[in-house]
Structure 1
Amino acid sequence: MSQVLDTPPPTTAPTAAVPADDDRVALAARHGLAVSGARPTLPQYVRELWARRHFIAAFSTAKLTAQYSQAKLGQVWQVMTPLLNAAVYYLIFGVLLQTKKGVPDYVPFLVTGVFIWTFTQSSILAGTRAISGNLGLVRALHFPRASLPISFCLQQLQQLMFSMAALAVILLVFGVPVAASWLLAIPALVLQFTFNAGVSMIMARVGAKTPDIAQLMPFVLRTWMYVSGVMWSIDHLLSRHDGLPSWVGPVLQLNPAAIYIDLMRFALIDSFQAGQLPPHVWLIATGWALLAGVGGFIYFWKAEETYGRG
């Protein structure tokens, strides 16, 4: 005979009510908690970046020192590399293609263009890999990510200072006298650095999402160099070719790379006259610097919380 037992229905322990999203936010705020890796406000981001200024300077100096540490000539290559580039361009463009015709002081003209262009080119190339090439640092430490592209631009500026010392010697050897206008090189370099840093931050965000862009940039920059008057005079070209389309002249003259190159030529080379510059050149140079610098900084900041993830 079987016995049937009535089993009481199972009882469930009471569970705590799950707080709503608003309650969670209030609870986190009450205990001083914040979202991990959240993007700070723009003013706060600027303050954090300023607080890391010593890190930015030290990081750029360390990268510059280590750049040629394995070479026997060491830091001499910081000057030799742009000088060798200038020598190659002189042979190909100045001698073979005769772009030096009608350009006074062509060697100082060419070397100035090569040095100033190299500053922009190297800054943008380094900025493109600033995040994607330093993922270990980005993922390991918490700091404003804009520190990286800015530090790379500062590294290139430091390298340019070595080149400028060599450029001063070249100017004197080729009979270009020291003049008060050389002081104009300082504001020109400040504007160019601001422009370079802004473009580098734009490319750093693009390169962080699409690392393959780093393989494309050398071709883009090479094309940009050829239309920036590095090896030839834009003013001389426009005066000799009246049949060019009307839009070519303004595009070539308002090209930011050409603007900064010609500003430096105007500052350092006495035969390069103000008439060879586009109208309102300082205003244009400032506009490019502000547009790229401020716009690039905000564009980079908007993706701050995404760098190093995925």
Structure 2
Amino acid sequence: MALPLARPTKKRNDPLNPRASKTLLIVMMLYALYTLVPLVWLLFSSTKTQSGLFSSFGLWFADDFAFFDNLVATFSYRDGIFLRWLGNTLLYVVVGAGGATLLATMAGYGLAKFRFPGRRAVFAVVLGAVAVPGTALAVPTFLLFSELGLTNTPWAIIIPSLVSPFGLYLIWTYAVDAIPEELMEAARLDGASEVRIFFSVTLRLLAPGIVTVALFAVVATWNNYFLPLIMLSEPDWYPLTVGLNQWNAASVGAGAQPVQHLVITGALITIIPLVAAFLFMQRFWQSGLSAGSVKQ
């Protein structure tokens, strides 16, 4: 007599388990709600006047739609200094984040494909630098730049932004599997120099990783607040983060002109380039994170 086959029991950790799927769905919905509510509030608040911010429901429009008026007022307030702050932020991102991406790519490629004494020590230093938060180095960096006379200049923001230990480590680990040794040897046999191999062969193979590092560097530089706050005292060199906070601080106090509606509109303008960068580079970013994780 044949014994009946036992039905397979679904484990709690099985992703096909209906209970687990529902739990994950609820968690992700709550996380999405937590992420999107501030953005939705920002969108609705940017359409309100100063009085409408406090007299209407935050997640809906007010009686007066003042988005375009707020937009014009933001760019014209205090002789259009918002536009100057936007230009400063773009300068710090293009030079600082762009330079950090280039240096991380060159250093990561060299550490991944060349053998030299002290390579393990460099690896340990890079890992240690990744673990150190940037805020812990802000005060020592300020003291160093103060001795050099570089505070209150764009170099006080650009030079520290050029250092990206995480970007270097990411390119290092990505280049190990992304660049075949046989391809490099074939290029050397054809008479190509190491510089030509890097710019003609390596950069194309490292493109997904480079885009990933660039995206992280752009976001970090664009949102940088603490370093410019202690390094800069001249408003003409402020980035958007520090400048908008100055507007908000100036709105509080007796006799101050409240401009919270301009601060909110400026914050909305500030996040638009980052959202556009994420949407544009999303496919490169995802491939850069996953490439090399599965060995061919």
The alignment's TM-score, normalised by the length of structure 2, stands at 0.31
The alignment's TM-score, normalised by the length of structure 1, stands at 0.30
